[in-house]
Amino acid sequence: MIESTLGPETAVYSADVPAGDFWIHEIFRGQAFRIVDLEGNQAVDTLFYSLHDTSERYSATDTIVGQGNIYLTAGTTLRSNLGNAMLTIVADTCGRHDTLGGACAVESNQVRYAIEKRHMHACRNSFLLAVSDPNWHLDKRDLTANINFFMNVPVTPEGKLTFEDGISNPLKYVEMRAEMDVICVISNCPQLNNPCNAYNPTPIRVLIWN
Amino acid sequence: MSLWEDTIQGGASWSVILRRGNSLRLEDIEGGGNVGALFYNWDCMVERYNMPDTLKAQHIAHLTSGFVLYSDMGRVLASITADSCGWHDPLGGHNDAKAVAAKYGKSSYQQARNAWHRNTHDSFLVEAAQYGLSLRDIGPNVNFFSKVAVARSGAMEFVPGNSKAGDFVELRAEMNLLIILASGQHPLDPNPQYAPKPIRFSVGRATPAGPNDPCRLSRPENARGFINTERYFL
């Protein structure tokens, strides 16, 4: 657990993102970027792209192999598919974050829960809507394995993987320093079928400091 | 019955269109091999292998017979119908030119001809480009024949000796697939020598997944995955 010294009053940007909404925004090199789990146990599905060449993007495998550990926390370098540092996690009051669980999609909900669940809102729909804005020059091909901030997906030595109740609480946060200019895409997860957000999706706050 | 057999030399790459109902058998000829693999729906290539969906649908962090590979669209791309080594890694990704040079030293084509040090990232790009795909289309891959165990702490440990000489894995295509393969070493392989191993492949006809198919029945999720897949081909 590492706390930040930055106070919200000096942030140059602050926004609340309701559950089920998306947020897409630039973060520039050297800026600090914080995500606050306002009510606790929320899952925040997050992708990063290089602002100047979006074919360079967050890579779950480069990130976990780079540090030899599957969990993300303070000290973790978030790496791109070219092996470059995109952001560094500089503060974390939650403890660990997932990057293997991916985003919920209406199709994966059908597989995981019931064919009839296709109508339920899912992160991938939020991502698809976010990247449909032509200003960002992104599309479905760009949706890769994401980070799930505040989500608890333990893996066992026997090779099992489970979705467990969250380990986050109200006002827990994670803060990153951008090592390059990036686009951040967030889906604030609407999942109602598993305990990734305690069956109760809640809002988050995003803040940026210069 | 094998329709096509050949060897992918160590460090080389290959790609194939494997039609629904056909099989691909990969054999680790010498033991200690590794095959990075990417899968795309050949009929609509924005649909492709999805590591997280494969893991979370089956509650697994490794692959072996009875499990399937999921696309991002809730469909089964391929089933693992046979496996003699018991663990294939979906977590470790692949190496690139920087990593290969740092680990094994620089070795150029000019100097070493076809014994030069190749890397899987470039191999994937070369194969992908043949089908109009690019860097944007290359995501987390499967590493056949390699084992990465995850400790309670989250630490990733490469387990040497997972695959012995002659070990094999068999895939059954459940959709029309583009499969891209590269036989470079696993990124976490501690061997300090550049020594990628040759892999034998064999394409054949598979028996379709019937109502009692082990992959269909291994998880209730997979039964639904097969329903989604079969509806795609109505």
Q: pLDDT of A123-157, one tens digit each?
A: 999 999 999 999 999 999 999 999 999 999 999 99
Residue of A80, A108, A141 to mutate, testing the B interface (most B Cβ within 10 Å of its Cβ): A108
Whether A10 is covered by a domain: the verdict is no
Q: Which two tokens stand for residue B194?
A: 């550049």
Mean pLDDT over each residue of chain A, to the nearest integer: 96
From chain A, the residues in CB contact with B221 under 8 A are 111-112
A140 contacts chain B (CB < 8 A): yes
Query: CB A157 to CB B149 under 8 A?
Result: yes
Cα distances from B94 to residues B141, B171, B187, B231, in angstroms, run 7, 21, 6, 34
Tally of CB atoms within 10 A around A26: 14
pLDDT, residue B221, reads: 98
Instruction: Please tell me whether residue A121 adopts helix, strand or coil conformation.
Output: coil
Q: What is the DSSP letter of B193?
A: S
Number of residues that this document lists for chain B: 234
Kindly report, residue by residue over B187-218, the tens digit of the pLDDT: 999 999 999 999 999 999 999 999 999 999 99
Provide the domain limits for residue A44: 18-209
Residue B5: strand, helix, or coil: strand
**CB contact (8 A) between residue A107 and residue B187:** no
pTM: 0.97
- Please give the ipTM for the structure prediction: 0.97
Confidence band (pLDDT; 50, 70, 90) for A166? confident
- Quote the number of domains for chain B: 1
Give residue B43's pLDDT band: very low, low, confident or very high (50, 70, 90): very high
Pure H helices in chain B: 51-58, 97-104, 109-112, 120-129, 214-217, 220-232
Interface test with B, best of A69, A80, A111 (most B CBs within 10 A): A111
pLDDT at A196 over 80: no
Residue A11 lies in a domain: no
Residues A128 and A140: beta-carbon distance below 8 Å: yes
What is the pLDDT, as a whole number, of residue B134? 98
Reading the block at residue A192, the tokens are: 């109602």
Question: Would you state the pLDDT for residue A117?
Answer: 95
Residue A33 predicted with pLDDT over 80: yes
Residue B202 near residue B21, CB atoms below 8 Å:
no
B140: chain A residues, CB-CB within 8 Å: 59-61, 144-145
Phi and psi (nearest 5°) for A130?
-60, -45
pLDDT, tens digit, 9 for 90 and up, residues A151-160 = 999 999 999 9
Mapped onto helix, strand or coil, the DSSP state of residue B91 is coil
Query: Any chain B CB within 8 A of the CB of A179?
Result: no
A146: nearest CA in chain B? Answer: B52
* Model confidence band, residue A64 (pLDDT cutoffs 50, 70, 90): very high
Domain assignment of residue B84, given as a range: 2-232
pLDDT at B11 over 90: yes
* Mean pLDDT across B114-133: 97
Q: Which residues contact B118 (CB under 8 A, 6 or more apart)?
A: B11, B12, B100, B184, B196
In a domain, A81, yes or no: yes
Q: Tokens 């939020």 identify what position?
A: A126
Domains in chain A, number: 1
| DSSP H stretches of helix in B4-96 | 51-58
Q: Please, what is the Cα angle at B48 between B137 and B77, to 5 degrees?
A: 155
Q: Is residue A153 part of a domain?
A: yes
HSE of B29 in the Cβ direction (CA atoms, 13 Å)?
13
Chain-centroid distance, C-alpha A92? 13
The per-residue pLDDT of chain B, averaged, comes to 98
| Res B193: pLDDT | 97
Q: Are B91 and A70 in contact (CB < 8 Å)?
A: yes
* pLDDT category of residue A102 using cuts at 50, 70 and 90: very high
Confidence label for A186 from pLDDT (cuts 50, 70 and 90): very high
pLDDT grade for A164, boundaries at 50, 70 and 90: confident
- Per CB-CB distance under 8 Å, the chain B contacts of A103 are 52
Confidence of residue A165 (pLDDT cuts 50, 70, 90): confident
Lowest mean pLDDT among A33-47, A162-176, B66-80, B220-234: A162-176
Question: Which chain A residues have a beta carbon less than 8 Å from that of B227?
Answer: 115
Residue A163 has pLDDT above 90, yes or no: no
Contact B56 A101 (CB under 8 A): yes
Query: Which band of pLDDT confidence, cut at 50, 70 and 90, is reported for residue A45?
Result: very high
Question: A interface mutation test: which of B91, B131, B142 has the most A CBs within 10 A?
Answer: B91
Q: Report yes or no: A154 and B61 within 8 Å, Cβ to Cβ.
A: no
